[in-house]
Amino acid sequence: MSNDILTQTDPRTKYKTPPHDEHMQDEPGTTSAMNIKPDHGENSYKGSGKLKGKKALITGGDSGIGRAVAIAFAREGADVVISYLEEDGDAKDTAKYITDADQKALLIKGDIGDEEHCKHMISLMVEEMGGIDILVNNAAFQQARKSLQDIPSEEWDYTFRTNIHSMFYLCKAAEPHMKPGSTIINTTSVNAYHPSDVLLAYATTKGAIQNFTSNLAQIEAEKGIRVNCVAPGPIWTPLIPATMPEEKVKNFGKNTPLGRPGQPVELAATYVLLASEDSSYISGATIEVTGGRVTI
């Protein structure tokens, strides 16, 4: 057996533990500006053809969890469309990992809170890639606020448009092009179970996403389309230093039983599972990847 198979690591110390000496950023944040770089599986994820011939769209695929999923999907044999807001440098970096895996990459820039843009993305993907087999609704907006009065009404609306309305727009636009065996994977959060005291708007949308997923799975079952979601715990991405208070960034992940934040690569295999035939009898489910944070 290879050394890779025999290697066993302590999950408490596999990655950096708090405190984090990280530069604060403006929202939405970029990977290149981070002092402590996340691990997206650039040097570790190895594919085995689980998604060969598939065509996937990943929102927020330029960085964080989305980048890790894009790398994994490409190395599993899928062509990948990356939807992103404005982070051109991060998006191009992710695209290179996809093409280095000998898969097609397509970058689409724009606001997924706009229904017309969502329709355009699906149309362009079908035209350029020839179809859509996997839709990963991953992009999200959050902004820490200490009180209800601190939340601007425009920000509340933007959070919902980005985090939950976009899922409706994209699922509705993609559904006519998805054949039996296609999959939809939504990203919810541990905040759906235990909402943070400074993320009222974000946590509310994450609860909605979980309900949306379980309900849509029942609707899509008659078409042979599976719908599931992943609930990450605290994951080290550019969104953290760009949207959280400095003290919370410093101690980010410390309140988990494993005592550290998760890295994007630690979620990649879960998305691959839900996108592949290995999960053919899983639909309407939520898989929690929370570092031990209890979700019941």
> Measuring CA to CA, which residue among 62, 135, 49 is closest to residue 96?
62
Amino acid at 163: N
First to last CA, the chain: 38
Q: Which residues does 290 contact at the CB level (< 8 Å), separation at least 6?
A: 190, 231, 232, 233, 256, 262
Interatomic CA distance for residues 77 and 80, integer angstroms: 9
Structure tokens at 106: 């397509």
Structure tokens at 280: 């053919």
- Sign (positive/negative) of CA torsion 38, 230, 52, 171? negative
Structure tokens at 131: 């179809």
Active-site position among 84, 97, 202, 271: 202
The strands making up 226-232's β-sheet, listed across from edge to edge, are 105-109, 79-84, 55-59, 134-137, 183-187, 226-232, 286-289
> Measuring CA to CA, which residue among 133, 53, 32, 70 is closest to residue 267?
70
Whether residue 202 lies in the annotated active site:
yes
Q: In this structure, are residues 65 and 235 in contact, taking their beta carbons and an 8 Å threshold?
A: yes
The DSSP bridge partners found for residue 81 are 57, 106
Q: Which residues are catalytic?
A: 202
